[in-house]
Chain A
């Protein structure tokens, strides 16, 4: 069957073209952009924090007496925690990946005349860091006990040695091919008049910062410094349990720690799986909302096409009967409707592609959303064409079933 007469029929009464075409166009524009955002969010949700996620928790201790020495309390607490059964190791920290709060600073490559600075998260750690967090140390060595010093909020940060994430060193030293080669290099930290150089002694892979930046790249930039931190009168500890023991540990550790020293308050333990769930909550709810919109949108589209094509079939009953009487086969009738819908959908898809790109540009300019990759459009167009044909089939099969005798009846 030729396409031209079908097309001219469509143009003679363009209401269907406008209604279904616009609907398909809008749907395509929304669906591909929503799918793109959903894809990004699902990627986010898969991100690993670079630590032994299932066995780490964090707990805080705050003393309230002026006379208490927070550092002494921290050391006693750590000794106690390390002695607990089911605990692999523990150390004083300031924060963990994905908690949403922490400390970041700018660092730059020392000895490099045209060095640029990068933002990096600062994690405090001691000699047990690899074991306590379950880090993937790909080069160099952990801190030595002798290198680890106390740090209070009154101090300025001037660590002699640091352990950095692979992504951070690659961004800091663009000349390096492998992150391992950054060992022994120096990085600057601090403002121009008061710079301190730190030697990179270890490289860890996969560790994540407490938050994800969009305009500033920071999620993969982490620097560990060898200090036991105390904040006013409080300290925080990261504890790693033996595999599978985290819930048990989380259930008991607060009471146990509090009993050691009554002159302070021990906070609620936060297990890393909880931290992660909270961190990804926004991504998850966005993904769920958008998936719901996409599914409903496709459903509404199918219903709309079924509804309109059914109406056309009813309107053209007599015409179809006449065609059948003149020798058209059922297949011809079915094909007529399918081609007609494919033409209309294609017009909609073309318009939709333009709309989708416009929407994508707008989203990218107003929000933290990246531009739409072209293949989303291709998939989206294929999807809508397939759905359009499917939706047309239902009423078109009814049309194909119309008896030729209809034509001769006056009713």
Chain B
């Protein structure tokens, strides 16, 4: 019987091409607009590391101005002072932890044909690799021992390895950066979590990652300034690099991995105690306000899904609603125009329920057609968006799961729109239209 209903629905669509076209167009426009903005929203709001996003925490301490919060409402700074971050990273109270900041360095390839190039890297601890799990193409991370020994080792991104070493296994080779020599211990494979959750402050969440990774401890000799965000509420105590390291300026990020709720509680206690202890030395003038945010909370806190995207999703959903209201009207017109047919079918033995099924099937078929055309519209819409906003381009595409989502939304919407007209159709009395034709 279901096949019969589908067959009838297809016939009816074909038999009134204008009205059918109008209805499919209305649904398709709604689905197309909604899916265009939803695809972007979906790409931006995804979980970048689903299997452990609840175990990785961004750590924040509130060392800010006693008079003014870093940002309202009472948010601690997004990054930490160098000395706090370094102390916490080396205290080792969590299963894994790392402090990190971004630096710019000139890479000087051994091959004289390749010019020196500016590159951006990350000063971090070996735990970075255990926590964020970047895939290795060659070699492996440096060790905690090498952190402590300030070893001159480097891990390269796949792209950097291709530029400097032509893509071969460069483990064990020397790399010259800013006139210093570093031994390559590992080369990463493509590592593009979307968004780049471990550094939302200093990089585009949907942009390129780091070219290289160096042990944080090497900064004792390199004395790098961060290539990224730096905020100070009071000037450093003296005009020197050491003064900067000792200042209340925040420019280093700290992440920890805590595998259980108990570990999380213990770590919170640990950092609270640390801050209480620092207060005794005259630091941390604000009330205790230390935060541990897991990955998804952190993405939310930092507003990774920008306002425009949210507004677009909202407005395009409202647009879909208008398209649905429209479809209700058109379906009503279509179904009631066929009142005579309903009467005949009823007289010939169709129960009210069968009429209901027949017309609901027709609604569903409209929804399916609307979804298919709508996906074409969405693909066009995304093409336009890619032209307008290249940085989003890389992350938005219509994958099968989004296509399925569009189909579900469209069919549900069409069924919803079809309910009232269908109800009206199956309420037509069997005898009503038989006499007058």
Whether the complex brings A and B within 8 Å at their CB atoms is answered yes
A interface residues, Cβ below 8 angstroms from B = 15-16, 19-20, 22-23, 26-27, 29-30, 33-34, 37, 60, 62-66, 153-156, 190-191, 193-194, 215, 231-234, 258, 264-265, 267, 281-282, 284-286, 288-290, 292-293, 296-297, 299-301, 303-304, 307-308, 310-311, 314-315, 363, 366-369, 410-411
Contact present for B388 and A64 (CB under 8 Å): no
A286 pairs with B326, CB closer than 8 A: no
Verify if B193 is at the interface (C-beta below 8 Å from A). no
Known: A285-B389, A304-B326, A307-B19. A62 touches B118 (CB 8 A): yes
Indicate if the CB atoms of B321 and A26 lie closer than 8 Å: yes
- Do A154 and B243 have beta carbons less than 8 Å apart? yes
Assess the B105–A300 pair: CB atoms within 8 A.
no
Q: How far is the CA of A281 from the CA of B239 in the complex (A)?
A: 39
A residues within 8 A CB of B90? none
Residues of B within 8 A of A303 (CB): 22, 25-26, 326
- Tell me the bound Cα distance from A155 to B116 in angstroms: 29
Q: Is B333 engaged at the interface, CB distance under 8 Å to the other chain? A: yes
Chain B neighbourhood of A310, CB < 8 A: 333
Contact (Cβ within 8 A) A191 B235: yes
B318 near A26: Cβ-Cβ < 8 Å? yes
With a cutoff of 8 Å between Cβ atoms, the chain A residues found around residue B241 in the complex are 154
A155 to B239, CA, bound (A): 5
Taking a contact as CB atoms under 8 Å apart, the answer to whether A286 and B308 are in contact is yes
Number of residues on chain B facing chain A (CB within 8 A)? 61
> Does the CB pair A64–B108 fall under 8 Å?
yes
Q: Which residues of B are found within 8 Å of A299, using beta-carbon distances?
A: 29
A155 to B117, CA, bound (A): 28
Question: Which residue of A190, A258, A281 is within 8 Å of B235 (Cβ)?
Answer: A190
List chain B residues, Cβ under 8 A from A15.
332
Contact call A265/B337, Cβ cutoff below 8 A: no
Q: Which of A264, A308, A368 contacts B106 (CB 8 A)?
A: A264
A363 to B313: give the CA distance in the assembly, Å.
Answer: 13
Q: Which of the listed residues A194, A297, A363 has the most CB atoms from chain B within 10 Å of its own CB? A: A297
With both beta carbons as reference points, the residue of chain A lying nearest to B316 in the complex is identified as A293
A231 touches B312 (CB 8 A): no
Chain A residue with minimal CB distance to B311?
A367
- Show the binding face of B for A, using Cβ within 8 Å: 19, 22, 25-26, 29-30, 33, 36-37, 72, 104-106, 108, 115-118, 177-179, 224-225, 233-236, 239-241, 243-244, 306-308, 310-312, 315-316, 318-319, 321-323, 325-326, 328-330, 332-333, 336-337, 381, 384-385, 388-389, 436-437
Residues of chain B within 8 A of A66, CB atoms compared: 178-179
Q: Tell me the minimal C-beta distance from B54 to chain A in angstroms.
A: 27
With a CB–CB cut-off of 8 A, which chain B residues contact A284? 388
Are the CB atoms of A37 and B29 closer together than 8 Å?
A: no
Task: Closest A residue to B229 by CB, please name it.
Answer: A101
Other than A265-B106, A289-B385, A303-B26, give 10 A-B pairs with Cβ distance below 8 A.
A19-B332, A26-B325, A154-B241, A154-B244, A215-B72, A293-B319, A300-B322, A301-B326, A304-B326, A367-B311
- Identify which of A23, A29, A215, A363 contacts B325 (C-beta below 8 A): A23
**Distance of A296 Cα from B115 Cα, bound (Å):** 52
The 9 residue pairs across chains A and B that have the minimum distance between CB atoms:
A311-B333, A285-B388, A64-B106, A304-B326, A191-B234, A19-B329, A23-B325, A64-B178, A308-B329
Residues of chain A within 8 A (CB-CB) of B236 are: 156
B302 to chain A, nearest CB (A): 16
Identify 23 residue pairs between A and B in the complex whose beta-carbon atoms are under 8 Å apart, listed by A's number. Answer: A26-B321, A26-B325, A37-B311, A64-B177, A65-B178, A153-B244, A156-B235, A193-B234, A194-B234, A265-B115, A285-B389, A288-B384, A289-B37, A292-B384, A304-B326, A304-B329, A304-B330, A307-B329, A308-B329, A311-B337, A368-B307, A369-B311, A411-B437
CA distance A65 to B332 in the complex (A): 78
Contacts of B333 in A (CB 8 A): 307-308, 310-311
A265 with B117: CB separation less than 8 A: yes
A274 to chain B, nearest CB (A): 12
Contacts of A410 in B (CB 8 A): 436
| Chain A residues whose C-beta falls within 8 Å of the C-beta of B330 in the assembled complex | 304, 307-308
Complex Cα spacing A271 to B303, Å = 30
Given contacts A37-B311, A289-B37, contact A300 B323 (CB under 8 A): yes
- Cα-based distance from A366 to B306 in the complex (angstroms): 12
CA distance A279 to B236 in the complex (A): 32
B91 to chain A minimum Cβ distance, whole angstroms, is 28
Closest A-chain residue to B26, C-beta based?
A: A300
Determine the chain B residues whose CB is within 8 A of the CB of A366 once the complex forms: 310
For residue B228, which residue of chain A has the nearest CB? A101
**Which residues from B are CB-within-8-Å of A33?**
315
Q: Give the CA-CA distance A290 to B385 in the complex, in Å.
A: 12
Whether the Cβ atoms of B22 and A194 lie closer than 8 Å is: no
B33 touches A64 (CB 8 A): no
Which residues of A have CB within 8 Å of B321?
26
Task: Report chain B residues within 8 Å CB of A19.
Answer: 325, 328-329, 332
